[in-house]
Chains A and B, each alone.
Chain A
Amino acid sequence: MTNSVETQNLVKNFGPVQALRGVSLKIPAGSTFGLVGPNGAGKTTLFSIVAGFLRPTSGTVNVLGAAVAGENLLGKLSVLPQDATFRKGVPMGNQLVLCARLQGYSKAQAESEVQRVLELTGMEGFADRVPDKLSHGMAKRMAIAQALMGDPQIILLDEPLAGLDPAQARRIRLLIQQEAGKRTFLISSHVMADIEMLCTHVAIIKAGEIAAQPSMEELTRREAVAVFTLEKQPDPGIAAVFEAIDYVSKAEVRPVERKLQLTVRTDLKNLDEAVADLIKVLSEKQIAFVGIQKGTSLEDAVLKIT
């Protein structure tokens, strides 16, 4: 599989602050690639370098086989910048038509392309509005609309669902899912559920470095968790019983919550099969439980790494 984006030892300094410390990343063509990490980890800086907004202090960025910021990328890459705002006082339709015209459309084609992307984002009927009169969510959808114009090979979306109401977030999520595979997406988000739902690959960035770059499946399936809510407060000594089981990598007792959290290595045993076994053990030990929660989330995995 070829890569749409490759970065090598990217470093970016803002004065004394080192925002990126040697980031090397490969984003396969056609993938939906999630970039996650805590605030200030360097996600937006990395995005901005890939998009050509920022110049790296050192290191290289290759997008579609060309050095970034080359004019040969124009129209092939589109971006939803996180904190960019449209020009005040100018109707959105005019601003989007200008974007479309710069993308190579004639005036008539540009108007029809703008109409298409406004419909995709549910913003048709707002072309005459000026940005000052749009809510935060509406402005975000306008910005998403401009990113969907034309036929870009790579779409960079920085926090695409932040600030959207649930219905609109679902709409945009569906849009991304429909387009997935046809083009490469690079998505940054704090909402792990979104990344988990949309992305095929993920990179975890922490303090300006790539902390991990596993496949989504690898990240979320490597270990699974079964949490039993017990009827009575458990004896802390019970953890040792479960830790003795070969496929249980960790047993944790939370007496106040009456919970017994067991981390299962799924490469040794499937979670469902493991849970059935664990229920048997609980039954043998005459420990009653009132609830089971299965599986691990990307959020758990990311929190563990970061």
Chain B
Amino acid sequence: MALDKGHVRILTGSEFKLMLRSPQGILAMTFLGIYAGWVLSKLVGNADFINSLSSGSLSEEGTIVMAAVKWLANLDDDLMARLFVEHSPFVTMLFVMVAFMMPFFTMVAALDQNASDIGSKGIRFFLPRTGRMNLVAGRFLGVSLFWAGVVVVLGVAGILVALAVDEHHSAAIIFVDGLWFILGLFLIALPFIAFMALCAVVTGSPLLAITMGIGCYLGVALMGGLGGWIHEGLKVIRFVFPATLRYDLMLGSTAEAVIALLAMLGYTAVYLFGAGWIFKKRDL
């Protein structure tokens, strides 16, 4: 069943407007705002220390922080050096911290899509007027557009903070890093929006959708981690979600970033295809 571009555009616009005043949109925006605000305040409060991370000669405290970031983002020494010396450490730190929590905030923002309409049977007002695939695509794009706006605002805030406090990098570097930060965070979010589209059409309830989404995410992380201890091969479970690849999106290595970018788009396509297939087949 082909997509109707006109219908998808109308549904995207409608979903975007709904998101601006929806409880889940406001809640996710607030959570992300508070968390990112807290991270930014810490970066500003420790500006001298963060600037020292770019100098190459690290204090004991700096070494501990770098080790923590290295562990969290699963980066090698060479990549770490580039991310903190060649690129703005403020943008890098902000990316690492925000990217870690991004799947959760994104899943909250994207928990509804078609779920409440399936639950209330309000979807039946639309079915005689538009194709099922249009509903999945339009609402996915509407949520994505909304979340892209939120990420842009966060990115601009990050760029402004970095411009104000970064002593070692030019405005041009900070600006390019900031733009990549925005694109990277959005790319991390996309597959999770698509995954929530899948949860929404499976459960037909926003509450069940978010429970399923976060449950699957944590379950996979847990199984991937524990399974990895038991048998190396079980680590592959982690690749059910693209979260493992999120830190490859940082500009440390162009090749890895491009692969991660393509992987994010691939995961998005797979989840969205799954959502569309189930929505097309299921009773509404």
Contacts and interface: CB of A to CB of B under 8 A. Distances in A.
B37 interface: no
A53 B283 contact: yes
Contact of A51 (B4, B116, B124): B124
B10 A84 contact: no
B130 interface: yes
Interface of A: 48, 51-55, 71, 73-75, 77-79, 81, 83-87, 89-90, 95, 98-99, 101-103, 143, 146, 152
Interface centre among B116, B123, B124, B283 (most CB of A within 10 A): B124
CB-CB nearest 5 A-B residue pairs: A84-B121, A102-B129, A81-B124, A84-B124, A54-B283
B30 interface: no
Given A52-B127, A90-B18, A98-B10, A85 B283 contact: no
Contacts of B284: 53-54
Given A55-B281, A102-B10, A71 B1 contact: yes
B138 to A, nearest CB: 10
Given A51-B124, A53-B127, A99-B126, 12 more contacts: A54-B284, A55-B283, A74-B129, A77-B128, A79-B124, A79-B128, A84-B122, A86-B122, A87-B117, A87-B122, A102-B10, A102-B130
Contacts of B282: 55
B120 interface: yes
B14 interface: yes
Interface residues of B, number: 26
Given A51-B128, A77-B128, A98 B121 contact: no
Interface string B263-283: 000000000000000000111
Given A71-B131, A98-B14, A103-B129, A83 B7 contact: no
A87 B130 contact: no
Contacts of B283: 48, 53-55
Given A53-B284, A55-B283, A102-B7, A86 B125 contact: yes
